[in-house]
Chains A and B, each alone.
Chain A
Amino acid sequence: MDKPITRAHRIASLFLLGLFLFNYPMLALFNVSHTVLGVPVMYAYLFAAWALVIALAAAIIEGRG
């Protein structure tokens, strides 16, 4: 049987996801001067990705199991 995926594994994976989201080439994809809903794309992307990482961290840490 596979090892159970512990909370520590999930958090470590989230760390790697964070490194990926906040680096080249992801940043290059959003480095354009358009806007979405009146907000610059890069600005919207960074804050959305950031909020996502925080939300996942909270879900992993505060959730059960």
Chain B
Amino acid sequence: MLEGWFIVASSFAYIGLLFAIAWYADRRALAGRSVIANPWVYSLSLAVYATAWTFYGSVGRAATDGVGFLPIYIGPTLLLLVGWFVLRKMIRIARLTRTTSLADFVSSRYGNSALLGGLVTVIAVVGILPYISLQLKAVSTSFQVLLQYPQIVMPPPASSLQVMQDTAFYVALFMALFAIAFGTRQLDAAERHEGMVAAVAFESLVKLVAFIAVGVYITFFMYAGPGDIFSRAAGRPDLDVLLAPFGGAAGGYASWAWLTVLSMLAFVFLPRQFQVAVIEVTDERHLKRAAWAFPLYVLAINLFVLPIAFGGLLRFPEGGVDADTFVLTLPMAMHNEGLALFVFIGGLSAATGMVIVETIALSTMACNNLVMPVLLRIRIFRLTEQRDLSSLLLDIRRAAIVAIVMGGYFYYLLAGEAYALVSIGLISFAAVAQFAPAVIGGLYWKGGTARGALTGLTAGFVVWFYTLMLPAFAKSDWLAVELLERGPWGIELLKPTQLFGLAGLDATTHAMIWSMIFNVGAYVLVSMLGSQRAGEHAQATLFVDVFRQTGEPGSRWRGAASASALQALVGRFLGPARAAELFAAYARNRGVERIDDLEGDRDLVRFAELQLAGTIGAASARTMVATVAQEEPLEIEQVMTIIDEASQLLAYSHRLEEKQAELESATRDLQAANESLKELDRLKDDFISTVTHELRTPLTSIRAFSEILHDNPDLDGAERQRFLGLVIKESERLTRLINQVLDLAKLESGLAEWRSEELDLRDVVADAVSATSALFKAKGVVLETRLVPSPLVLGDRDRLMQVLLNLLSNAVKFCTPGSGKVIVRLAGDGGTVRVEVADNGVGISAEHQNVIFEKFRQVGDPMTEKPAGTGLGLAICRRIVGHLGGRMGVQSEVGRGSVFYFILPVAAPGERLAAHG
């Protein structure tokens, strides 16, 4: 069953199945019934994270340091928990800006910097080569091992073979062909690949089932369950060490923590992860399900890693079998051919899934951010004048895929033999982690500049290359080993593996620490020292504040162009037929019959720009649209300058508008303040003249009676007594008036002292009633109270007493002696307590009801009736109630009595302290 032809045939049958799935998914997508618009498929597509590294390499890692393979999977688990905050933001931005790749994303954030996009592409491509070589190595090794069945022999090192005899070379070739077939069949404006995602999700299922199958077989059929395996291992001192893998030093924990962080970053910044998680997602809400479904997937695929590793170490105690192949060699050793083949297919699944998505993502980046910007700038090619560029774009991408996979193959030849699978992969993880400062900084810090990102990325990349790539080459005898042992030019401090003397860490942790220090340091420092161009600032704001955006961002392009010119432009990149289709659909949406009738307004320009952005990246799209809208041959620098200036002007005018609005509102505020000051001044004058007038009335009486007494010493006793009584009464009125004026002045100036306590208003009412009962009796007025138990209020007891006394004495004043009746009611509901004093006196007409609470306003005609009070009582009452947070009012009808009431808020339990303070 395990002859070479059969293995190859099975592999091709499996790949054929993948194509069928992709073809079906693409057809469903065209029909508008997407199979990938589903949170489960999204979670499975994220599992492209689990590659041959996971499938073969985890066991290898576990065989040397126990649970050390786990941080790589725990990191993404933790990251997805905060994914709703971070990833959703990236998805939202990618949608708004039609981002097609990580390079596009970074370039777009920093003002469509073409240089930055190119740098990101270079770092990504160079950084991923080891990772691709890992997949090639895993597939070719597993194929060769399987071919030797029933013997178990490790393949010879690749460097000892001719390229043409090397299995890995053919694996690379076929992988490149698959990727081309999957990703570059057609040019899609949105740069999304539904078929590819569906196939990858299916592959995730296959590799999971294959791994669990072999895990169950080894654990429960080869051995008698995990207990059996571990108890046998405990008998071997060399294996016992793996059970408590951290040893004594703290270095193990630091390395664990760094690996966790590293894998969190890699989970987002690996080009293929960015592709499936951010670009291919159909609905950002799928992130929620993925936050637990994806971790569950990786937990399941890791569950049997340790049992398999121990099972392998026990089965092949003499060594000679690479632990990276245990998954395959154990079923082979048990002569289970079917399972061995299934495992090989599972591993092939894991590797092809990774290579396909990774190379498609990288080739898009290479095409849009590296090759096209250069080609468009080189005049000799006259690309800006060519009719149809869509096939050129596809060819560039195909070439890029082949180049990347072959790059991975040559890396494998050069450095692949010296390392286990996991160590190779970690080199790539550390490379893509360099994107973190520029991207995460760019998402949350508006101050990050293009220069800062360029410097930080370059610094991080250089340190990464020096501390991880050079040692990898040196270990493969490609570079002199002296470099590692003595440092360059014999300078010990510059030893790549112990930079600046930092020793005692594993290579990945060491490289991460130094590259992150240089990367973050340079990014922050250069950003803070420099400044942003206007266009850059606009993008920074768009990215950081994306959740405050509504709708599409306005294009900064103000120009206009003819619809046919724009269509021709789009057609050059997407193909004339596709362009005609898109523009016809746009015209239909606009309710226009023919494309030529479309207005070449900025909406249309924006539309064309977005279509192009999906294909050639935002930066190039803008430049291309600019050529048409300007109707002149391409002068990139000029166009860029125009765009920059225009956006700068817009930014200035926007700021001017803001300033003007601020000034206008300030002027309005000042005018209003002035008005109210004038009004207050007038009120003060009125008040003084009224007070003087009111004071003069009692003074005049006192003076008149005193003069009578003075001038007529022979007045009889009774008459003299009556005049003296009047003098005393008028003096009392004068005193009361002065007291009340002072009281009111104190209240108004805010100088009055307030005590704040929780009060039961029933007590206050009862006290007020008993204090005035004599008055009521004297006038023959009945006083009744109807007090319902009600919540406590917060207030000043004396002041509330003053209010109640005032209301009660007013009530008795206006009642007819003998038949008068006054009722005091107290009731509370939910948040307020209401107190009312109702009388059956003369009542107050509607027009007077509005003014009685004002100062010196009394009911009754001042010419005919002698005032019965000072005219300040109610004004004071209203101020007191207002100060306590309540309000006061009156309901009345002439001849039927009046009801004065006030309403106070209930004391909230928590407010007590605040009121005291």
Contact = CB atoms under 8 A, between A and B. Distances in A.
Interface of A: 8, 11-12, 14-15, 18-19, 22-24, 27-28, 31-33, 35, 37-43, 46-47, 50-51, 53-54, 57-58, 61-62
A19 to B, nearest CB: 7
Nearest to B228: A38
Contacts of A18: 74, 77-78, 81
B295 A53 contact: yes
A48 to B, nearest CB: 11
A6 B566 CA distance: 48
A56 to B, nearest CB: 9
A35 B227 CA distance: 9
Given A18-B81, A27-B253, A32-B244, 4 more contacts: A11-B84, A31-B246, A38-B227, A54-B77
9 contacts: A12-B81, A14-B81, A18-B78, A22-B78, A27-B253, A40-B306, A50-B74, A54-B296, A61-B291
A42 B250 CA distance: 16
A26 to B, nearest CB: 10
Contacts of A42: 66-67, 243-245
A61 B303 CA distance: 24
Contacts of A53: 77-78, 81, 295
B81 A57 contact: yes
B190 interface: no
Nearest to B81: A15
Nearest to A11: B81
Contacts of B535: none
Contacts of B245: 31, 42
Contact of B295 (A37, A57, A62): A57
Interface in B58-73: 66-67, 70-71
A19 B225 CA distance: 31
A33 B244 contact: yes
A39 B81 contact: no
Interface in B84-117: 84-85
Nearest to A49: B74
A19 B71 CA distance: 11
A40 B78 contact: no
Contacts of A35: 227, 230-231, 234, 243
B288 interface: yes
- Interface secondary structure of A, over-half rule: helix
Interface string B394-407: 00000000000000
B230 A39 contact: yes
Contacts of A62: 289, 292
Q: Which of A18, A23, A40, A53 has the most CB of B within 10 A?
A: A40
Nearest to B256: A27
Interface string B235-267: 000001001111000100100110010000000
- Interface secondary structure of B, over-half rule: helix
Contacts of B81: 11-12, 14-15, 18, 53, 57
B299 interface: yes
B289 A61 contact: yes
A11 B290 CA distance: 13
B505 to A, nearest CB: 15
B253 A8 contact: no
Nearest to B79: A15
A37 B227 contact: yes
A53 B246 CA distance: 23
A15 B227 contact: no
Contacts of B250: 24
B253 to A, nearest CB: 4
Contacts of A46: 67, 70, 74
Nearest to B910: A1
Contacts of B66: 42-43
B82 interface: yes
B90 to A, nearest CB: 17
Contacts of A40: 230, 243-244, 306
B243 to A, nearest CB: 4
A58 B246 contact: no
B226 interface: yes
Contacts of B82: 11-12, 15
B84 A54 contact: no
A15 B78 contact: yes
Contacts of B71: 22
A22 B243 contact: no
B244 A24 contact: no
Contact of A19 (B78, B246, B292): B78
Q: Which of B231, B234, B292, B296 has the most CB of A within 10 A?
A: B292
Contacts of A14: 81
Contacts of B257: 23-24
B223 to A, nearest CB: 11
Contacts of B288: 61
B227 A39 contact: yes
Q: Which of B67, B230, B288, B303 has the most CB of A within 10 A?
A: B67
Contacts of A22: 71, 74, 78, 256, 260
B594 to A, nearest CB: 50
Interface string B526-555: 000000000000000000000000000000
A28 B230 contact: no
Given A32-B244, A33-B243, A54 B78 contact: no
A40 to B, nearest CB: 4
B76 to A, nearest CB: 11
A43 B306 contact: yes
B253 A57 contact: no
Contacts of A37: 227
A38 B295 contact: no
A28 B231 CA distance: 22
B350 to A, nearest CB: 21
A42 B241 CA distance: 12
Which A-B residue pairs are the 4 nearest by beta carbons? Answer: A38-B227, A24-B253, A58-B292, A57-B292
Given A22-B260, A42-B66, A61-B289, A54 B295 contact: yes
Contacts of B306: 40, 43
A43 B74 CA distance: 13
Contacts of B243: 33, 35, 40-43
A50 B292 contact: no
A11 to B, nearest CB: 6
A27 B246 contact: yes
A15 B84 CA distance: 12
A57 B225 CA distance: 30
A33 B291 CA distance: 33
A38 B231 contact: yes
Q: Which of A32, A38, A51 has the most CB of B within 10 A?
A: A38
A46 B67 CA distance: 9
Contacts of B295: 50, 53-54, 57
Contacts of B240: 33
Contacts of B225: 38
A46 B82 CA distance: 20
B78 A31 contact: no
Interface in B9-62: none
Given A19-B78, A24-B257, A43-B306, A57 B299 contact: no
Nearest to A35: B230
Contacts of B227: 35, 37-39
A8 B70 contact: no
Contacts of A50: 74, 77, 295, 299
Contacts of A43: 66-67, 243, 306
B88 to A, nearest CB: 11
A43 B65 CA distance: 12
Nearest to B241: A33
A38 B257 CA distance: 28
A28 B246 contact: yes
Contacts of A61: 288-289, 291-292
Contacts of B303: 47
Nearest to B250: A24
A25 B78 CA distance: 18
Contacts of B231: 35, 38
A32 B567 CA distance: 69
